[in-house]
Chain A
């Protein structure tokens, strides 16, 4: 009998709770949660992190990521994060927001938070719909995309155009890092991990505001299988929302 020695090469991030997920099958929120948790571990921020949760499918983030957390009203996470960071400059403050939350109702808060150069990090999940409320149009819904409130497809004449947040935030003076990433394949996941770390470093090095936009799949409200939804991220979303780094003055 030959002896096999096993070596663990992959494990749960330390600050990620081992609990059943409430996300739908094929949803990218779970992967993004994991990447955030990995970055918290990597910089050993578990003990000094304060997470600002938002309203949307990610509302239970505090059940998954085991750090001190406060819940913000819909869209207001950047203002709440500002309050936390100004009150505790030594804490590591990050917020996690969906596209309805950040780019519609909370557009003013995110722009001004970035423009002030608040030393906070924002994780922005763009799945081109309002997930939690049942798949209505988001400010990032693509032209022609059918949602429960654009049954004939989003029309620029009626609803205007999808907002490109990573570019918009990247154009602001107070922003130290802005990137758009995806988690649809391993290559992109590796790039996404690097981007989160850079956004965190912007805060840790006191350089300014850090922002990472994730293109994310919502199979449920896209009415696609998980595999088809994963594919749509590449075929349809990346065509309008190009991946890349839009601002980086961290180093």
Chain B
């Protein structure tokens, strides 16, 4: 494929990334603001011989993902806030069974039914496992439509590399905005990707059992130790962006669509002579603690900006611990953010 430029919504970029990333089975349940993803895949994935199925609930769709993943396929589901809550039981089982899967959360405002306006309120849920038991999902937070595409492709590779659920954490702004993307990856499917561990029927080998029940003496301990090591290994795939950080006096830390809006704010403030930089974590789990700490060691002041009441700021504080503090500015869930919203709080850092 020669790389093609397309003008698409963030949600469509995720869906196209899934196609080019080799998704074979996608299980849906409608919820705003992510419904463009199932709508796109219901049209396009079936043309390529993949499976598209709208399930009866998010609970069913995540368990269909579990089944397809156990069968060794690249499987995916997407939802938003309330639907992601329902998927948590299944995500915990997928993590406990060490299966690969991609889950997209295009966050909306909450708690409860909340609304369809933008929010980053599911940061804790995404980065702390979200369901029961001691597990983590790898979390990727795109900030542009291109990143929606790129990171969805990468999410599948990471899910199979670690045999762990990977979450794309976007939001209503990102899902709905239109931007050009370059489609650079050609869809290819390796039928033997999971051949060493997946279920095929036991022809020619011994029975395989994929489960998360660990009753035998010492086996739960062993699994948790293995998972802990796995989460440590994931640190080799930590991603982040530093934007004009080098000579900055004040560094704003923000992720996802807010990260990108804060970059515009930084540009505006630079033109007024303020030395502002932006540190944007792209993997939210594992969080770029060390990378942020390195920046802090250079003697900067920090402000964390989120579209929630203060979640990632806790990770920022952990990263900076013992070196300096961070201010926090909250744009409330439900409020659409503009670059102007962040001028005053950042300017105040220079007073």
Q: Which residues of A are at the interface with B, using a C-beta cutoff of 8 A?
A: 46-50, 52-53, 59, 62, 66-73, 76, 79-88, 91-92, 108-109, 111-112
Residue contact B199 to A79, C-beta cutoff 8 Å? no
The 4 closest A-B pairs by CB, nearest first: A83-B67, A79-B63, A48-B201, A87-B71
Partner of A79, one of B64, B72, B204: B64
Cα distance, A9 to B89, chains bound together (Å): 47
Contacts of A66 in B (CB 8 A): 202, 207
Pair B56/A47 contact, Cβ less than 8 Å: no
Question: A residues within 8 A CB of B61?
Answer: 79
The complex places the Cα of A85 from the Cα of B70 at a distance, in Å, of 11
**Cβ distance A27 to chain B, nearest Cβ, rounded Å:** 19
- A73 near B89: Cβ-Cβ < 8 Å: yes
The A-contacting residues of B in range 208-244, CB under 8 angstroms, are 208-213
List of A residues within 8 angstroms of B57 by Cβ: 108
Looking at the complex, which one of B24, B53, B210, B212 makes contact with A69 (CB distance below 8 Å)?
B210
A108 to B75, CA, bound (A): 22
Q: Do residues A67 and B66 form an inter-chain contact, with CB atoms below 8 A?
A: no
User: Is A68 touching B201 in the complex (CB atoms < 8 A)?
Assistant: yes
A68-B201, A69-B209 are contacts. A84–B56 as well, Cβ < 8 Å? no
- Interface digits, B176-212 against A, CB 8 Å rule (1 contact, 0 not)? 0000000000000000000000011111100111111
Q: Is the CB of B53 within 8 A of A86?
A: yes
Our pick among A48, A59, A70, A108 for the contact of B67 (Cβ within 8 Å) is: A70
A87 touches B67 (CB 8 A): yes
CB distance from B143 to the nearest CB of A (A): 32
Q: Please report the total number of B residues contacting A with Cβ < 8 Å.
A: 40
Decide: A79 and B55 in contact? CB cutoff 8 A. yes
Contacts of B66 in A (CB 8 A): 70, 72-73, 76, 79-80, 83
Interfacial chain A residues near B24, Cβ < 8 Å? 87
Inter-chain pairs besides A50-B200, A70-B70, A72-B66, 7 sampled, C-beta below 8 Å: A70-B97, A70-B209, A73-B93, A79-B66, A79-B67, A86-B67, A87-B71
Q: Which of B25, B60, B90, B200 has the most CB of A within 10 A?
A: B60
Q: Which residues of A contact B199 (CB under 8 A)?
A: 50, 68-70, 84, 88, 91
B73 at the interface (CB under 8 A from A): yes
Interface flag for B252 (CB, 8 Å): no
Asked if A73 meets B90 with Cβ closer than 8 Å, knowing A52-B67, A83-B68, the reply is yes
Question: Which chain B positions have C-beta within 8 A of A112?
Answer: 55-56, 60
Interchain CA distance A1-B73 in the complex, whole Å: 65
Q: Decide: A80 near B67, CB < 8 A? Known: A68-B208, A87-B25, A87-B51.
A: yes
**Whole-angstrom distance from the CB of B162 to the nearest CB of chain A?**
19
Which residues of the partner chain B approach A91 to less than 8 Å between Cβ atoms?
71, 199-201
State whether A59 touches B213 (Cβ < 8 A).
yes
